Structure formats: C-alpha cells, structure tokens
Structure 1
Amino acid sequence: MAVDHSLELAKVSCDDDDGQIRTGTLWSCVAHIITAVIGSGVLSLAWSTSQLGWIGGPVALLCFAIITYVSAFLLADCYRSPDPIKGTRNRTYTDAVRLNLGKIHTWFCGLLQYLSFYGTSVAYVITTAASIRAIQKSNCYHRKGHDAPCAYGITKYMLLYGAVEIVVSQIPDLHNMEWLSVIAAIMSFTYSFIGFGLGLATVIENGMIKGSLTGVPAANTADKLWLAFQALGDIAFAYPYAIILLEIQDTLKSPPPENKTMKKASMLAIFITTFFYLCCGCFGYAAFGNDTPGNLLTGFGFYEPYWLVDLANACIVLHLVGGYQIYCQPVYAFFERWFTQKYPNSIFVNKFFTFKLPSLPPLKVNLFRICFRTAYVVSTTAVAIVFPYFNQVLGVLGALNFWPLAIYFPVEMYFVQRKVSPWTRKWIVLRTFSITCLCVTIIGLIGSIEGLLSAKFG
C-alpha cells in the first residue's frame, strides 16, 4: 500500500507472487473490520431506532446486517481476477472495478470511494471532538448539577484531534497498523458495552420500556417521513465497509485463500457488530423513548456515573484515532503511488531520510508524505468545523455511497467473475436485491440531505 515498499522490505522470502509480505490472519482481519465498522455510526443508532419505532428499528438493523454480509461475500471473490483463488490480485477496490467493469465504471467508483473516505474522516473529526467536549460537560454537570449551563465550544477539540492525526498519519500503510486496529477494536467494544450497560441500567431504573411501535411522533406526516428517511441513512452509514474490504483483504497471508478468510472474518465481524448495534440501539431507545439523543454518549441522556460516561467517551476518542487511519491510508497510498509514477526522478517525492532517535528504531521520513498527509488532515478538520452536524452528516454519507459501493459494483463484478447468464435464477435474485437497495438508498439520501440543509440553514 505504501510508496516506499521497495525501500522498506527486507530480503526475506515473500508469501505470494507480487513481492509484498503479507502477515494478516483471520483475527487481524476481524480487528480491521470492526475498527472500520463500529465507529461513530453506532452512537446514532438509538436515535435511528427511535425514529423508526420498535418494529422498523430492529428490522432495519437486521436487514442492513444481511445486506452487508451479502455485499462482503460477493466482493471477497473479486480480490483475485479472473479466478477468485489463483487470479491476479486486485489490491484496491478501484483495481477490481477496472479489471472487471472497465474505465468508465472505474472513474465513477473512484470518485465515490474517495469521497466516502474523505467524508468518513470528516465525520470522525466531528465525533471525536464531540466526545472530548462531552467529557468536560460530564464533569461540569457532576460538579454543578444537571441543569447547569455547561457550554463548551467544539472547534478547539477538532483542531486538537487534527494535530494528533497529523502525527499518526505518518504510519506507512495498513500493513503496519495491526496493533492500532487491535487497540481501536478493544476501545469500540468497551464503549459499546458501556452504552449498552447504561441503557439497560436506565431501563431497570425506570421500571418500564419506553418507546412505541411507530417511533417518535412528528408535527406532520412529511416531517415524520424526513426523519425516518434520515434514520435509514444513519444505519446505512453504520454498517457497510465495502469501500475498504479489498484493502483489508490485501493484508491477508495465504494459504488459506484470501477470499475464504475474508468471508469467515466478515461473518464473525458482522455478527459481533450486529449484536452491539441491536443492544445499543434498542436499549438506548427503551431507556429514553421520545427523548433519545442523537448521539447516545455525548447527547447526555446519561449523566451518572459520570466517570463511566467519561471512560466511554475516552474510548471513542482512542478508537477513532485508529478508525480515521483505516479510511485515510488507502487515499494516501493512491496519491503517493500516483505521484511516484508521475515524477520518478523527484527527490521531494521519492527521497527518504533516516533519523535515529534514542531508544527508538530508525525513522524514515519523506517530505512529500509529510506535506500531503498533513494537508489532507487539515482539510478534513476544516470541513468538519464548517459542518459540525453529527446525525445529518452521517446520514448523507451513508445514503450517498451505500448502493453504488456496497451493492452495485459488487453485484456487477460478481456477474463478470462467475460468468452469470442473464435471466437465470441467480441473476434475477441479485438484480432484485440491487434494485431494492437502490430504492432504500434514494429514500435515505433524500431525508439526510433535507436534514443537513435544515440544520445548516434552518
């Protein structure tokens, strides 16, 4: 994935045909997936469930889990082409689309994929800053009471998070991030457990399950539809990881074949993710009913125990430090590889300088890498400052990319890979599946755009 593989690889035996050492296992793959999936999206699921109600909310979560697994199952076979086990490696999503579907599809896919990477990074800046602010507010409410005017800005926390990501972005590539993904996955489990536990405790304390079959009432039917559509957009953001699946699969060693390991890892990761999503979404709604906050841990449905709320938000911050990198590293790799090919003789682009710090391994520094990655982080932070709207941003991102990246391209590439004939049973089933998901995507996108515009311009 990185530009400087040829400079960094030692003279050791490689485990495959392209000279890249791959050491990923089933469990490192599960960690990468969970780090990519259980992110800021889980915090909006209680609100989404409250908008859809006790029937629509859980059903939507389960349906999106099934859709995500089908998407991952189809896409895992596209890592190698034309044969899913012995074919040529497609190290990125766009590589697979280029080989199977052609140039026009590649441009469209690349545009959406990198827009999604960028947008997710923006969402992570918003979420992390909200969690840092929530820690301060939690301590303030504990000292001064729950009705105290504990107001804090969010911009300075975004700038602080951006500064941290500038440093962490110097990690060369996904192959060097297993440790960070493991830490991030542990953090995601921790704050998901805390959110679930606090919701359950609140339900027990209330002595009743709040909420209704139809969800939070609205002033009129149109407003209710907009909110329900936005809720679908939020759920769509929370689940799929198709845009990063092949990049994660490219870290796996073989044998066994990479597609088999990825399918097994996807099944495990989606099962774990769905359990936490149902727990957080349903118990959050059961605890607060019509007053369910947009962000379960920063919207202050929970005030006490304040130290546990602080711990949950601290775990969110640590998790999203790693989650941000999962979505940024493919962008870094693409542009660094392009500039290397475009300017092969440039010292600025290709020259690495080695620094030796006391008690640390040698550090290789590239000026272009530092400048480009810093500029990228700065830009995502700036956009987050302009649009600091948690639920609305998640909904737009989820709905915009759900159908094309998680459904359309995997289905079309599967047809090409497996040479599926038109009007056969498999063709009809997958086409119906794709069209249904397209309708859901359009609905979610309409509601989410309306919500974002309303939040920004009133």
Structure 2
Amino acid sequence: MAKEKTTMFIEQPGMLENGHVGKNFDDDGRDKRTGTVLTASAHIITAVIGSGVLSLAWAIAQLGWVAGPAVLMAFSFITYFTSTLLADCYRSPDPVTGKRNYTYMEVVRAHLGGVKVQLCGIAQYGNLVGVTIGYTITASISMVAVKRSNCFHKNGHDVKCSISNYPFMSIFAVIQIVLSQIPNFHKLSWLSIVAAIMSFAYSSIGLGLSIAKVVGGEPVRTSLTGVAVGVDVSGSEKVWRTFQAIGDIAFAYAYSTVLIEIQDTLKSHPAENKVMKRASLAGVTTTTFFYMLCGCVGYGAFGNKAPGNFLTGFGFYEPFWLIDFANVCIAIHLIGAYQVFCQPIFAFVEGRCHKRWPESKLVTSEYGVDIPFLGVFRVNFLRLVWRTSYVIVTAVVAMIFPFFNDFVGLIGAASFYPLTVYFPIEMHIAQTKIPKYSFTWIWLKILSWTCLVVSLVAAAGSIQGLSQDLKTYKPFNTQ
C-alpha cells in the first residue's frame, strides 16, 4: 500500500492563496458540492420511505378509517413545514449568504447555543443510532421472509418454517462494513438513487398485492375506529396500540435528523435553502402518496388483522416469487438507507478525533490501495476501526432486541418532537426575531407543545409493547 497524507472530508481545508476559491472548491474552501434537486430528493426518499411504510397497514388498523389517514396527513404537513424552517437555518445569520453550518448540531449552536446544543446532539445521534439498529432488524426480517416464502410455497402454508434472523443480520453487517469505508457522504448519491428505486418497487408490489386481495373479495372486518374492543383487543390494548401506531407513523417521516447533511451536498447556486425546500416538497409529497395508498389499501386488504409488516407478516403467500423480489428490494433499500443515516455519526466522531489529535498518523494518514477495475481506494485507520466497530455494535443490539413495530415506534416517538418540531421552530423564531406573544409566536408554540404530547403518548405505547415482548423473548435463541 502506498502511504499518502490527505485531508478527510470532515476537515475544512480552508481558502486558497490570497483568499480566492478555486474552480474545484466552494465558498468555504471545501470540495465543490455537486448535489441537485434530484440527488437531494433521492436522499430524502431513501431516508423517509424505509421500514416505516411496512407498518402503516397495521397502524391504520389500530386507528381506523377516520383517525388513521388524518394522523398520516397531519404528520406529513408538519414534517414538510418544519423542514422548510430547518432548510433556512443551514446558513446563518442570513439563509442565503450567511456562514454554512455542516451538521444539525452546528445549526443549533449558531441559532440557539447553550445547553440546547448538547440536548440536540443527544437527540440526533441517539435517534440515528436507533434508526440504524431498526434498519438492521428490518433488513434481516425481509431476508428471512424470502426463505420462509420459498418454504411455504414448497411445503404448504401450515408448516412452521422457523428460520433464525441472526445469520442475516450478520450478512447485513458485513455489507455495511464494506460500504461504510466510502469516505464522503456526497459520493453516496448513486446508492441513494438505487435505494429510492428499490423503495418504490417494494411499495408498489405491496400496494399491488393489497389491491389484488381487495378485488378478490375476501371478506375482512374494518371500521371507522379500527380494531374493536372486546373482539380484537382488550380496552387497555386498544389504548396502547393506538399510542404505538402514532409512533410508527412518526417514524415513517423521520428524516429531519439528516436534512442538514443532505443540504450540505447541494451546489451553491441556486441557493441551497430554495433547492432543499423543493426537494423536501417532492420527497414528502411522493412518500405521503405512497404511504396513504399502502396504509389504506393494506388495511382494506387485511382489515383489523393487518400484520405488523405487511410484506413479511405473510398476509400474502402467492405469487411467492413476487414477494421474494419485494423483500429483496427492501433489503437493498435498507442497505442504502443505513448509510444515509450513519454518515452523520461517522463524520461527528471523526471530526472530534481530528480536532483532538491533529498530528496523529493513525487519525490523519491515509493509504492508497489499488483495487482492480475500481482504481485507488483510500483507507484510513481511524475510519476502518471506528466504522467497523459501530456496525458490529448496532448488529449485536439488533440481535438482542429484534422487535420491529415496538422498536420503530419508540424511535419515531423519541425523535419526532425534538428534531422535527422543537428545534426547527425555536431556530426559526430566533432567526427571524419573531416577537414574543405575537400571533405567529403563539401558534408556533401551540404546534410545538401539541407535538410534545403526541410524542410522549407514542413513546409510552412503544415502551409498553417492548416490555411485553421482553417477557417472553430469549436473546440469541435460534429455536
């Protein structure tokens, strides 16, 4: 390996001689950004249409025909609105000509400062870790579903076909270890585009199978209020499931955690905040359309007995090859989505290491490895050890807590209020200097407090579900 001293993407190289910025550098001295509305929209769709879409039929079943779609639309409007506020905070103090802020924490530091920066860091990186764990769980469930689908097709639908998730979690982790060595977030655009295509593919397949089931005329029970007390669930179960369903829907819109990092990939012209708003509108509109179809048609297909994951819960058995293909698409999509969510974590830790040990060869030195047909690949010791360790740890945690619905509901509840609502609203108030107790200030505060209450009840429902699951679960038991 040929050793070479280079600067990692998390370190700012500074301006060129005489303060001029070269044609290959942006106004902050970093490599010129090349992102567009298309690539940003692909990143957003990759981040948003994830495992959340798979649980929407179940969530609508808990809430019913009235509350289900209403809650879904409410979350989509709130997410888009606050994403526009957050997009204006990328530069400060002016949203067009101000200084760039490269991460969510830097944005909060620039506009709010104080202890709120630490609170933001805990919320953001805790959520990102939770999402990557959730994606490991979901991807392995989809891989297992492929084998189970083939087993059911071969041996009949009444066969147990018990298959362990653990080997597939290990395979997913190995793939992520390799991909995580790609040093620059903006070089993952191709992965996001592939992942976005996969998300459309499996959402469309799930939707098509649901429509076929509805058209087939098989009778199912649905209602305006969802699962019936005394018939499907007890009174307490109805309450807890309703709360959990709200958390699942909140999780389905979780991309604010990586919005700033996505915006930092965009070209300087036109203004990044304007492009990001267009990308957010395209991303949220597209995903809401699919969510509404998948959730409502899925509920129409399965009724009150909708499975937690409508492509792996085996409400569908045939055609088995199409179900297999859909689950392969899910796995491929989550491979890309995992990278979108873990890159900010990688950048944060590596940035801290660079500042603390700027002279350390283990931290700053890179080695060029010549890979046949692919050219020279840069290897850094810190990146290799830290990113590999992170992927392994998330895989182990996923093996210990492999509960799909409860886990995604808890992540959604924990992240929705602070990252999607509270910080964007507070920064908007500070940036635009909205007078205290003015009409705009009051309604923004009402929105913020309402979302806090929603997040708390959703978290309560998911925690109750996890506690019930843990009573009977034995970690690493393959039987």
Shift of 1:17: 3.0
Q: Deviations over 1:232-259 (max 9, x none)?
A: 0110111131111011000000211111
Q: Distance in 2 between matches of 1:109 and 1:415?
A: 17
Q: Distance in 1 between matches of 2:151 and 2:252?
A: 30
Partner of 1:119: 130
Q: Distance in 2 between matches of 1:378 and 1:11?
A: 40
Partner of 2:320: 306
Q: Distance in 2 between matches of 1:16 and 1:43?
A: 42
Partner of 1:27: 38
Determine whether 1:151 maps to 2:162. Answer: yes
- The answer on whether the counterparts of 2:139 and 2:330 sit within 8 Å (CA) in structure 1 is yes
Gaps of 5+ in 1: none
- The answer on whether the counterparts of 1:211 and 1:290 sit within 8 Å (CA) in structure 2 is yes
- The answer on whether the counterparts of 2:40 and 2:279 sit within 8 Å (CA) in structure 1 is yes
Shift of 1:439: 1.1
Q: Could you say what secondary structure the match of 2:367 adopts?
A: strand
Amino acid at match of 2:434: V
Shift of 1:15: 3.5
Q: Distance in 1 between matches of 2:165 and 2:144?
A: 7
Partner of 1:353: 367
Determine whether 1:425 maps to 2:436. Answer: no
Amino acid at match of 1:47: W
Shift of 1:12: 4.4
Determine whether 1:232 maps to 2:250. Answer: no
Amino acid at match of 1:302: F
- The answer on whether the counterparts of 2:12 and 2:29 sit within 8 Å (CA) in structure 1 is no
Q: Kindly tell me: are residues 89 and 11 of structure 1, through their superposed partners in 2, closer, same or farther at Cα, counting changes over 3 Å? A: closer
Amino acid at match of 1:97: V
Q: Distance in 1 between matches of 2:448 and 2:172?
A: 38
Q: How does 1:40-55 map to 2 (within 5 A)?
A: 40-55=51-66
* Pick aligned residue for 1:16 from 23, 27, 32: 27
Partner of 1:98: 109
Q: How does 1:132-147 map to 2 (within 5 A)?
A: 132-147=143-158
Q: Percentage identity across aligned positions?
A: 49
Q: Distance in 2 between matches of 1:195 and 1:389?
A: 21
Shift of 1:59: 0.7
* Pick aligned residue for 1:442 from 456, 459, 463: 456
Shift of 1:173: 2.3
Q: Distance in 2 between matches of 1:209 and 1:223?
A: 21
Q: How does 1:317-332 map to 2 (within 5 A)?
A: 317-332=331-346
Aligned alpha-carbon RMSD (Å): 1.6
Q: Could you say what secondary structure the match of 2:371 adopts?
A: coil
Shift of 1:425: 1.5
- TM (normalized to structure 1)? 0.97
Determine whether 1:2 maps to 2:9. Answer: yes
Q: Could you say what secondary structure the match of 2:216 adopts?
A: helix
- The answer on whether the counterparts of 1:203 and 1:209 sit within 8 Å (CA) in structure 2 is no
Q: Distance in 2 between matches of 1:19 and 1:323?
A: 25
- The answer on whether the counterparts of 2:251 and 2:413 sit within 8 Å (CA) in structure 1 is yes
Q: Distance in 2 between matches of 1:408 and 1:342?
A: 31
Shift of 1:20: 3.0
Q: Aligned pair count?
A: 457
Determine whether 1:412 maps to 2:441. Answer: no
Q: Kindly tell me: are residues 428 and 56 of structure 1, through their superposed partners in 2, closer, same or farther at Cα, counting changes over 3 Å? A: same
Shift of 1:424: 1.3
Q: Could you say what secondary structure the match of 1:266 adopts?
A: helix
Q: Could you say what secondary structure the match of 2:368 adopts?
A: strand
Amino acid at match of 2:103: T
Amino acid at match of 2:66: I
Q: Deviations over 1:113-158 (max 9, x none)?
A: 0000000000000000000000000001111111112110111111
Determine whether 1:69 maps to 2:80. Answer: yes
- The answer on whether the counterparts of 1:38 and 1:273 sit within 8 Å (CA) in structure 2 is yes
Amino acid at match of 2:440: K
Shift of 1:426: 1.1
Shift of 1:191: 0.3
- The answer on whether the counterparts of 1:128 and 1:316 sit within 8 Å (CA) in structure 2 is yes
Partner of 1:162: 173
Shift of 1:21: 1.2
- The answer on whether the counterparts of 1:173 and 1:333 sit within 8 Å (CA) in structure 2 is no
Shift of 1:392: 0.3
- The answer on whether the counterparts of 2:354 and 2:363 sit within 8 Å (CA) in structure 1 is yes
* Pick aligned residue for 1:264 from 274, 278, 300: 278
Q: Distance in 2 between matches of 1:39 and 1:194?
A: 14
Q: Distance in 2 between matches of 1:19 and 1:174?
A: 13
Q: Distance in 2 between matches of 1:185 and 1:13?
A: 29
